[in-house]
Chain A
């Protein structure tokens, strides 16, 4: 047996306090400083993630699995000149840290040079993002079971419904420190709840979900009500011919599709001629009108609807960025290396997205729709063609026909082959962004000529 005894802890030795808690700023800083001190390399960077995740799962009107885990991920990157390598460990003992540092140094000495390595960042200023809520961090197993019961009890009593749901709360701290004096720390909580209700005749299914940083704000009873209403309303769906339809995407459906553009916003792939924003010969579409002029796409970790980590893995501060403004591609995303090479400022990636341009609610958009397909959310979305950003996927758990401003009947699910770029060009209406179950800020939108290519029998 090769299981190394040295990795097993020693009751009296070196383990930091609060083994099941999330590292505080001071604890994270001490851990990083201890690690940096062990380094014999030219440079070292230490990334620490400390998380406690608690969950309950239920299905078929029964309780399923439930549990919690406390994990620490320590990534040590050692650098000699431009040779670098990383080692990941979850051991916070002196011995574990020493081993990780030594191993990363041994690997780095042998690794070929990385000409794109720019050295470590020095101290940076970060915006404080108030994402930590004790209500979420200290939620008990009893309270999670109670939330589950709020869906299980009506389903068991009703006889026509079967529910499956998942509630997960996470408390997480992210810290970075390096030998150039940088230190970054952020901690946050989130609570995510989703529920699928299915009718026992097998013809109806409804989904609803919500995410909040603060458990006290999470309307789990509202989620249960919406999923159950959708399930009952979606029974016995009619088959519509596949083809091009006006669609109304609920915010969670918008959240399934619009962020697919984020990868293509990388400046490097566009300038290398292999992204949807490339024009060939190193030129890009920056400055061009690429979508409907009502559309603005931004990212900001401090967005009150998002509250995300305000730095990336290198410790680069992430601020507010505008990618598309009134339909015009304003800028692309630059990594440190590519920005340095092209004489630009690094931006970090296009994460924590907010799509904006309107003020209407979902209900108002439905009310102004003459004829269209309402989509609750999407499923199994995969890239089909990176040149056009065409993706395929399916509608799921609540697809309805809207006529004259009203939901008139449930319809069978469709497969689509569609691009977020085409969609935002064919924009008909755009609502007010809300926090989605996916954690971004997306509105309901109405889009013309959305391409449904086949019917699905799946309920």
Chain B
């Protein structure tokens, strides 16, 4: 067994601290004292006006969102700041259901007349669509949540941190990275999102929520005589946390190591194509989970509602796969949730006004449920009644802003750790010939989520339980069902971490969703590896 000490001596000393991600947080994290959250009376009045206007115009059901979306970003390269942008927009989106047809309208005029006009437009659009209606939209029932609030797990609001502190942190990290041999270029950035979301619907819900997301990026480029190699930019996982998370990532200490990894990659051996055992770090594996399981278990995709853009799913049709499709070994369990602390999709109430609950997607290797909204849950009535559970949305409705209509988006979809508490080092030590892959890089998958190709930022060759050096030009090309059935070892609870993406695209018009995926490191046997060096 390779111990941590011997592992660090293998010439990859940077690795131990080089990959940062949100660990499981204590159940009761320290919270700064912040003012209590409540629904502002003026905002409530506008929301009620929008709902009344929609009903007066003929809506049988309606909901309204008034939100303030803030973002802040600072970008640097080498020794200079290239951009500082602070965005703050406010507006109102009204959704109306008329005779089973949807209509939506968004306005930035936050007056009674403005939101009333938007409500009327939403109803008019819904009425215009009746001519093309075939089947009526029916919503699953959901309890009304009157005057509830929710706030995400941030301790320090990044919007209270002065811009010079943010610039100073990035420029110090850049300076450290530039000390690594051959590193000539460094681009780094901080991006923060803060949203204050108000929601009301004609069921009687009135909900106010507040969340923060943080993202640190840093890319080091080492330049050789006629070649270049990059580590990053996703060296720290984005998270649903605040400035405290940025500080925990300690990018100034780690930047030098990331630079050295880029430099070492210049000299790395080009990979030999063929079948390899792969040890995938959570910072790499999370994206494969996202693409192959996350997107494939969205019910709208499975039912053809994304066929014109994002695509459909190999996990379909529901009646042929629910409870029967074996997606992986018996010890494989995947859960959908909007509750993991510090995860990007975590929320108190979704954009249908539903309070989400955790739900199993893959249980003991078998596919058992899809991600749903209130519109979609009734499509699976047959399955839920067979299971003896009520028809209920899993709370996956989301819109990226007040200007966009909500639809089904991915919750956190997380692969549960194995029973034995194995570490990353344990998986390497147990592997005779393999590749250990760290950090998301090039990724692509077909529109039904069968054929995927995934690279990594750093790839290490493993021989006889030890890392022997970096490899480059590595990507695995696989078919999702075989890939997951080739999973043979999972890391344990202590090695579980969250990876995530700030910008997951779906829908028409396209919308962006932020989502995390928790997982331990995992080993996959005999996976097809290609060399991407030359087409």
Taking a contact as CB atoms under 8 Å apart, the answer to whether B129 and A112 are in contact is no
Taking a contact as CB atoms under 8 Å apart, the answer to whether B125 and A111 are in contact is no
Residues of B within 8 A of A459 (CB): 312, 448
Report the count of interface residues on B (CB-CB < 8 A): 107
Taking a contact as CB atoms under 8 Å apart, the answer to whether B509 and A53 are in contact is yes
Taking a contact as CB atoms under 8 Å apart, the answer to whether A166 and B308 are in contact is yes
A322 within 8 Å of B (CB atoms): no
Q: In the complex where A3-B40, A55-B508, A456-B450 touch, is A66 in contact with B125 (Cβ < 8 A)?
A: yes
- Stretch of B98-106, B354-362, B494-502 with 4 or more beta carbons under 8 angstroms from chain A: B98-106
Taking a contact as CB atoms under 8 Å apart, the answer to whether B106 and A68 are in contact is yes
Residues of B within 8 A of A274 (CB): 185, 221, 223, 228
Taking a contact as CB atoms under 8 Å apart, the answer to whether A381 and B444 are in contact is yes
B91 within 8 Å of A (CB atoms): yes
A149 within 8 Å of B (CB atoms): yes
B446 within 8 Å of A (CB atoms): yes
Taking a contact as CB atoms under 8 Å apart, the answer to whether A394 and B38 are in contact is no
Contact with B along A99-128 (1 / 0, CB 8 A): 010011001101111111000000000000
Contact with B along A430-458 (1 / 0, CB 8 A): 00000000000000000000010111111
Among B86, B185, B309: residue with most chain A CB under 10 A: B86
- Stretch of B161-169, B424-432, B483-491 with 4 or more beta carbons under 8 angstroms from chain A: B161-169
B60 within 8 Å of A (CB atoms): no
A263-279 interface (Cβ within 8 A of B)? 272-274
B533 within 8 Å of A (CB atoms): yes
Taking a contact as CB atoms under 8 Å apart, the answer to whether B132 and A63 are in contact is yes
Residues of A within 8 A of B185 (CB): 272, 274
Taking a contact as CB atoms under 8 Å apart, the answer to whether A156 and B225 are in contact is no
Q: In the complex where A1-B208, A66-B103 touch, is A390 in contact with B535 (Cβ < 8 A)?
A: yes
A222-278 interface (Cβ within 8 A of B)? 272-274
Taking a contact as CB atoms under 8 Å apart, the answer to whether B86 and A55 are in contact is no
Minimum CB–CB distance from A183 to chain B (whole Å) comes to: 22
Taking a contact as CB atoms under 8 Å apart, the answer to whether A148 and B164 are in contact is no
Neighbour of A390 across the interface among B171, B307, B532, CB < 8 A: B532
Minimum CB–CB distance from B31 to chain A (whole Å) comes to: 16
Residues of B within 8 A of A34 (CB): none
Minimum CB–CB distance from B402 to chain A (whole Å) comes to: 9
Q: In the complex where A10-B111, A63-B133 touch, is A111 in contact with B89 (Cβ < 8 A)?
A: no
Number of A-B contacts (CB under 8 A): 311
Among A146, A280, A381, A456: residue with most chain B CB under 10 A: A456
Taking a contact as CB atoms under 8 Å apart, the answer to whether A198 and B304 are in contact is yes
Minimum CB–CB distance from A82 to chain B (whole Å) comes to: 10
Contact with A along B232-249 (1 / 0, CB 8 A): 000000000000000000
Chain A residue at smallest Cβ distance from B407: A65
B88 within 8 Å of A (CB atoms): yes
Taking a contact as CB atoms under 8 Å apart, the answer to whether B107 and A19 are in contact is yes
Neighbour of A19 across the interface among B90, B114, B164, CB < 8 A: B114
- Stretch of A287-295, A344-352, A414-422 with 4 or more beta carbons under 8 angstroms from chain B: A414-422
A253 to B424, CA, bound (A): 42
A388 to B134, CA, bound (A): 50
B112 within 8 Å of A (CB atoms): yes
- Stretch of A85-93, A368-376, A400-408 with 4 or more beta carbons under 8 angstroms from chain B: A85-93
Taking a contact as CB atoms under 8 Å apart, the answer to whether B106 and A382 are in contact is no
Neighbour of B102 across the interface among A63, A88, A113, A386, CB < 8 A: A63
Taking a contact as CB atoms under 8 Å apart, the answer to whether A394 and B444 are in contact is yes
A290 to B130, CA, bound (A): 55
Taking a contact as CB atoms under 8 Å apart, the answer to whether B80 and A116 are in contact is yes
Taking a contact as CB atoms under 8 Å apart, the answer to whether B80 and A112 are in contact is yes
- Stretch of A69-77, A129-137, A304-312, A357-365 with 4 or more beta carbons under 8 angstroms from chain B: A69-77
A45 within 8 Å of B (CB atoms): no
A194 within 8 Å of B (CB atoms): yes
A196 within 8 Å of B (CB atoms): yes
Residues of B within 8 A of A1 (CB): 37-40, 43, 149, 196, 208
Taking a contact as CB atoms under 8 Å apart, the answer to whether B108 and A280 are in contact is no
Taking a contact as CB atoms under 8 Å apart, the answer to whether B304 and A71 are in contact is no
Residues of B within 8 A of A196 (CB): 307-308
Taking a contact as CB atoms under 8 Å apart, the answer to whether B453 and A415 are in contact is yes
Neighbour of B446 across the interface among A67, A89, A142, A413, CB < 8 A: A413
Minimum CB–CB distance from B198 to chain A (whole Å) comes to: 7
Taking a contact as CB atoms under 8 Å apart, the answer to whether B447 and A458 are in contact is yes
Chain A residue at smallest Cβ distance from B157: A2
Contact with A along B416-438 (1 / 0, CB 8 A): 00000000000000000000000
Taking a contact as CB atoms under 8 Å apart, the answer to whether A72 and B108 are in contact is yes
Neighbour of A71 across the interface among B106, B184, B303, CB < 8 A: B106
Taking a contact as CB atoms under 8 Å apart, the answer to whether A388 and B444 are in contact is no
A457 to B88, CA, bound (A): 44
Taking a contact as CB atoms under 8 Å apart, the answer to whether A107 and B509 are in contact is no
Residues of B within 8 A of A115 (CB): 80
B5 within 8 Å of A (CB atoms): no
Taking a contact as CB atoms under 8 Å apart, the answer to whether B129 and A88 are in contact is no
Taking a contact as CB atoms under 8 Å apart, the answer to whether B90 and A7 are in contact is yes
Taking a contact as CB atoms under 8 Å apart, the answer to whether A457 and B221 are in contact is no
A61 within 8 Å of B (CB atoms): yes
A65 to B42, CA, bound (A): 29
A71 to B475, CA, bound (A): 42
Residues of A within 8 A of B446 (CB): 379-380, 394, 396, 413, 415, 456-458
Contact with A along B478-518 (1 / 0, CB 8 A): 01000000000000000000000000000011000000000
Taking a contact as CB atoms under 8 Å apart, the answer to whether B91 and A71 are in contact is yes
A145 to B80, CA, bound (A): 51
A394 to B291, CA, bound (A): 15
Neighbour of B84 across the interface among A107, A140, A385, CB < 8 A: A107
Minimum CB–CB distance from B192 to chain A (whole Å) comes to: 14
Residues of A within 8 A of B93 (CB): 69
A316 within 8 Å of B (CB atoms): no
Taking a contact as CB atoms under 8 Å apart, the answer to whether A456 and B132 are in contact is no
Minimum CB–CB distance from A178 to chain B (whole Å) comes to: 17
Taking a contact as CB atoms under 8 Å apart, the answer to whether A162 and B448 are in contact is no
Neighbour of A70 across the interface among B88, B108, B126, CB < 8 A: B108
Contact with A along B202-241 (1 / 0, CB 8 A): 0000001010000000000101011110100000000000
B522 within 8 Å of A (CB atoms): no
A164 within 8 Å of B (CB atoms): yes
Q: In the complex where A89-B89, A111-B81, A394-B446 touch, is A141 in contact with B124 (Cβ < 8 A)?
A: yes
A182 within 8 Å of B (CB atoms): no
Minimum CB–CB distance from B382 to chain A (whole Å) comes to: 17
A195 within 8 Å of B (CB atoms): yes
Q: In the complex where A68-B104, A164-B307, A274-B228 touch, is A110 in contact with B447 (Cβ < 8 A)?
A: no
Residues of B within 8 A of A141 (CB): 103, 124-125, 128-129
Neighbour of A454 across the interface among B171, B309, B451, CB < 8 A: B451
A90 to B445, CA, bound (A): 36
A195 to B309, CA, bound (A): 9
Minimum CB–CB distance from B368 to chain A (whole Å) comes to: 22
Residues of B within 8 A of A75 (CB): 85
A216 within 8 Å of B (CB atoms): no
Chain A residue at smallest Cβ distance from B443: A382
Chain B residue at smallest Cβ distance from A244: B535
A199 to B107, CA, bound (A): 39
B101-158 interface (Cβ within 8 A of A)? 101-114, 117, 121-122, 124-126, 128-129, 131-135, 149
Minimum CB–CB distance from A198 to chain B (whole Å) comes to: 6
Residues of A within 8 A of B163 (CB): 85, 107, 110-111
Neighbour of A415 across the interface among B102, B305, B451, CB < 8 A: B451
Taking a contact as CB atoms under 8 Å apart, the answer to whether B81 and A114 are in contact is yes
Chain B residue at smallest Cβ distance from A89: B88
Minimum CB–CB distance from A427 to chain B (whole Å) comes to: 16
Closest 5 pairs between A and B when the two form their complex, measured CB to CB: A67-B104, A88-B87, A141-B128, A458-B448, A458-B446
- Give 12 pairs: A residue, B residue, CB < 8 Å, sorted on A: A1-B39, A59-B304, A66-B129, A70-B107, A85-B163, A87-B88, A149-B131, A194-B308, A274-B221, A274-B223, A454-B528, A457-B479
Having A85-B84, A198-B307, A383-B442, one finds 8 other A-B pairs with CB under 8 Å, namely A9-B114, A19-B108, A59-B308, A62-B134, A67-B122, A90-B108, A110-B162, A149-B131
